[in-house]
Amino acid sequence: MKHGISSQRRLLVAVSISVVLLVAVTPVALASSNEQPVPRLVLQITVDQLRADMVERVFDRLGPGGFRLLYEQGAVYATAHHGHAATETIVGHTTLATGADPSVHGMVGNIWLDRETGLLAYNIED
């Protein structure tokens, strides 16, 4: 294998995806019939380099769908922070999706050294 991720990394990604799915499905299973309906699906949209204030600056010019719909009917975290300094794509997206820090979820950079092969591996290569 020229480039690749270890079986531990694959397991970690699978566990992360499972956690996200579990978080999305569990509230539905726990909701009682006389409570307000709980969403059946949680959709996370992460846009690199898009700060909350950028959308707010043009909010009055947004149409009824798209970002306006997301802002009005979704959860918006205008001052959310997470405790890691690495700002590479995989680090932030995995932290947002799992709620875990990079030291826990294992995605510490977009590219890392595969110690078995001595080659650089991209985070999503298989």
- Give the tens place of pLDDT for each residue, 52-61: 788 889 989 9
Where along the chain do its domains lie?
A: 7-122
Reply yes or no on whether the pLDDT at 67 is more than 90: no
pLDDT at 104: 93
pLDDT at 3: 47
- Give the tens place of pLDDT for each residue, 18-27: 555 455 544 5
Residue with tokens 């270890």: 6
Q: What is the pTM of this model?
A: 0.55
Between these two residues, 82 and 12, which has the higher pLDDT value?
82
Active site residues: 89
**Strand locations in the chain (E):** 111-114, 119-122
pLDDT at 2: 47
Q: Is 71 exposed, middle or buried (0-12, 13-18, 19+ CB in 10 A)?
A: middle
Please give the span between the terminal C-alpha atoms of the chain, in angstroms, as a whole number. 9
Q: Which residues lie across from 120 on neighbouring strands?
A: 113
pLDDT at 16: 55
